[in-house]
Structure 1
């Protein structure tokens, strides 16, 4: 199957919730994909195919997954790519020496951390999460990778809220598997 065929099938498994978590957002729940082992495999295979096609001849050393939904498929993707998995967690959740990045949220700031020795310098990394909206958390993960002197090949997302233009903040190109919401819902 092609990435487009996989994406069409995966998109059909999403559930939609208008005006959640706030007015103007059409929340597309991708959790039903994980209830079906065949769909979960297709999700991983889609990202694997994309990355292998785009980075032919280039080894992906690590997949970095953002807390919490990047943890749902990041480790499986890392295994499929024969790469390591490195989590980015909220402040205070990781043992040992960490580096941190602050990012803006709707009502204040939050902090992401990564273990300081988790990625050797100049490693090729891909950063994954379920969705990109404003781009704050993904950019913070990119900042962490750069603090460790990693080479960010790409950011990968299952979905995107296009109208929020979050990908414009990122330090590397991005790939979104399933087409996203291009404009806010009418009130």
Structure 2
């Protein structure tokens, strides 16, 4: 990326606050809400996301926002690009017929769903979320979309926690682009 992009990412990064021991002791929480509580930073982030999609994923036809913070970014980005915005939600949150994919968590399991009417085979989808930690949500969403016949062109996250090695849990054929990384 060019120096202007790098400067914009650094400005965004300077607005993100961290909270030690949240939501529980031993966790350092990086808060994207601290950055987007400021209008100019919202506009900056929007521009970074759109520019990244245009340069890295120019043929994308749908932005897939993951519950729940991915929703914040997927709609406005999709609207600016003039493409579809598709939510992937937890079980029972979407009306109508849905495709579902079950996945295992550290202590149990969960299910992600997408509406059948919103997706068709070959649709070029980009998964977007605020954070890549362990990679479970993105990996599950990718498997769900692929099971529906969609073409997952990649994933875009605002923050990646590299020490958690979440990329290794995402299928190798799914590219991952993060704007900001923290160890």
TM-score (norm 2): 0.91
Unmatched runs of 5 consecutive residues or more in structure 2:
none
Instruction: Tell me what 2:8 maps to.
Output: 6
Tell me whether 148-157 or 101-110 shows the greater mean CA deviation: 101-110
Unmatched runs of 5 consecutive residues or more in structure 1:
183-187
Structure 2 residue 95 is matched with structure 1 residue 95: yes
Instruction: Tell me what 2:109 maps to.
Output: 109
The DSSP-based 3-state class of the residue aligned with 2:129 is strand
Instruction: Tell me what 2:22 maps to.
Output: 20
The DSSP-based 3-state class of the residue aligned with 1:109 is strand
Tell me whether 20-29 or 60-69 shows the greater mean CA deviation: 20-29
Instruction: State the Cα distance separating 1:20 from its structure 2 match.
Output: 2.2
Structure 1 Cα separation of the partners of residues 5 and 24 of structure 2: 31
Cα-to-partner distance string for 1:127-150 (whole Å, 9 max, x where unaligned): 011111111111111111101211
8 Å Cα contact 2:17/2:35 also seen in 1: no
Larger RCO, structure (CA 8 Å, separation 6 or more): 1
Structure 2 Cα separation of the partners of residues 105 and 3 of structure 1: 36
Structure 2 residue 31 is matched with structure 1 residue 36: no
8 Å Cα contact 1:60/1:81 also seen in 2: no
8 Å Cα contact 2:98/2:115 also seen in 1: yes
The DSSP-based 3-state class of the residue aligned with 2:127 is strand
Structure 2 Cα separation of the partners of residues 3 and 65 of structure 1: 23
Instruction: State the Cα distance separating 1:3 from its structure 2 match.
Output: 2.3
For these two proteins, the number of residue pairs brought into alignment is 179
Structure 1 Cα separation of the partners of residues 132 and 18 of structure 2: 17
Root-mean-square deviation (Å): 1.5
Structure 2 Cα separation of the partners of residues 103 and 19 of structure 1: 27
Tell me whether 74-83 or 17-26 shows the greater mean CA deviation: 17-26
Instruction: Tell me what 1:185 maps to.
Output: none
The DSSP-based 3-state class of the residue aligned with 2:153 is strand
The DSSP-based 3-state class of the residue aligned with 1:177 is strand
